[in-house]
Each structure stands twice: as structure tokens, then as C-alpha cells.
Amino acid sequence: MPIKNELIVFGDTKYKLEIAPAKVDFDGYQDLKDKITKIASDWNNYVVTKDSYNSDKKTRAELNKLKSDLDSKRLEFVRKASDPINQFNDQLKDLAGRVKSAADHIGEGLKFFDDQARKAKHQQNLILLGTIAQEYGIALQKLEYDAKWDNKTASRSAIEESARKQFDVILQQENARKEAIKVIQDKAENYTKPSMVANPYINMLAYKGLPDILKQMDSDHDYLLKQAQKQAETKRKQLEAVEQHGDKYINKNTGEVVDKIYTITLRLTGTKEQLTQLSKFIQDWGIKYEKVGK
């Protein structure tokens, strides 16, 4: 019996759909089941022997053919019973596809205006965030922009609150970096001979903590100090063996000219730190110098 009153509603229109459950009258099923059961059970405890091998092989082929016939008939009748359902399924899938195509077409037009609205919202957000960045004294580029801020649902207050949290963290990091740079610079300036330059250690802040950097500075200075002591000792021994005659250094024992003395005039330009470091270097090497002009 068909099942009545199943409806498909489209707008204000209702379409009646009658569904009849698939029905198969198989009067001979029990008889076929009994025969199959007997055939299968007869072989359950059977033992294949060398003498029965050929006949057993033939029997197996007959059983496989019987199974194949049963499967073939089953699939044939299932397919026939399923045809109306498959046809109905294909029809409604086709109709749904047509509706989706129309919706997608409209969606493309809507997307244009949605994109325009997002771009406008983005520009408004940049103005807001730029003002906040100026307040903090931080470059806007350091802020990690959240794409969700461009959504229509993102309120101005929520965007500002989220941005300020980021700026607070950035400001703390920058202040900590400035303090660390000052500590490194002061430490470098306080070293006695040999002198130390701060910049390489300031660059280390990108991947190393301040305590480790300060330890590194002490270690490096100890190494330079030992090297300077070795060089000074070597130079002392060299100077003891020579004496100056005019613009030449002469070995006192052999009379050999060891080196010549040159005088050059330079005009140096650099930062205070650079010139200070250069002056220390000149002194460390025993180079005579005098200031020329102002």
C-alpha cells in the first residue's frame, strides 16, 4: 500500500509524494533455504583426500557457480526495486543543483559588496590603530593585525581592547630592550684595556638573554686581556732588542734595520664611541700621535 500525505514543500506550493515500500513475494524461499542448508551442511565436516581430489575440485566449482547464481539474482532484483528510488534521488539532486547554482551566482554579487565593506572597515581600523600606536609611541607595523577585525560583527571597542593588549606587551618588551641596551653600553664603556664595543652584544638580544650576554662580555674581555698581555710582552721583548735611529728601528745586537718609522696625517670622522675606541687602540699599540688643528 502506498504511504499517503508525504509532501515536498516549495514556497507556498505543496507537492504530494507517494512512497510504496519495496515488496518481494518469494514463495519458494523456505524450500530453497532448506536445499541450500542441506547442501552446505553436508560438506562442513568433509575431508578432502588424495583419491577424492579431482571430484572434490569439480564439486567446489559447482558450489561456487551456485553462489554466483544466487548473488546475480539478488543484485538483479535489488536493482529493479531500487530504480524508482534512484530516479527520485537523481531528480531532486538535479533540482537542488539548479537552486545552488542560482544561489552561488547571487553570492558572487554579494561577495563584491562584502569585500568592499571589509576594505572600508580595514581602512577605518587602520586609522583607529594608528592613533593608538601614536599614543604608545610604537610603530603600527609591530602590531599583529587580526583579520577578524575586518568582520562586520567586530565592534570598535573590542578591536581597541585587543590592540591595546598587544601594544602593552610590545611597550614592555621595548622598554626592557632599552634597559638591556643601556646596561650593555655601560658595561662596555667601563671595561679598562682592552676596550670593548657594545654593538655586537646588543645584537645578541635577538636570541640571548641579558644575563647570558653579560657573562659572554666578561668571558670575551678576559680572553682579550690575555691576548693583549701576550702581545704586550712580545712587543716589550721586541722593543728591548731595538733602538730608534732617526726614522728606523735598529737591532742593538746585529745592527740590522728591523723596521721603518712612518708619519702620516689623517682626518678622522666618526662617533664619540668610535673615536674613543680608536684612541685606545692607538695607545695600546704604542703609536705616537698628536692633535693637528682644532
Q: Which pLDDT tens digit goes with each residue over 275-286?
A: 887 887 777 666
Q: List pLDDT tens digits, range 253-269.
A: 666 665 666 567 777 88
d(CA 99, CA 19): 24
DSSP 51: T
Share of the chain above pLDDT 90, in %: 44
| pLDDT of 256 | 65
d(CA 136, CA 139): 9
Task: Average the pLDDT over each of 68-72, 142-146, 221-225, 232-236 and give the range with the smallest value.
Answer: 232-236
Q: List pLDDT tens digits, range 199-232.
A: 999 999 999 999 999 999 999 999 988 888 887 7
Average pLDDT over residues 116-142: 96
Radius of gyration from C-alpha coordinates of the chain: 48
d(CA 58, CA 10): 61
> How crowded is residue 188: how many other Cβ atoms within 10 Å of its Cβ?
20
What CA–CA distances, in Å, run from 167 to 140, 155, 178?
Answer: 9, 18, 16
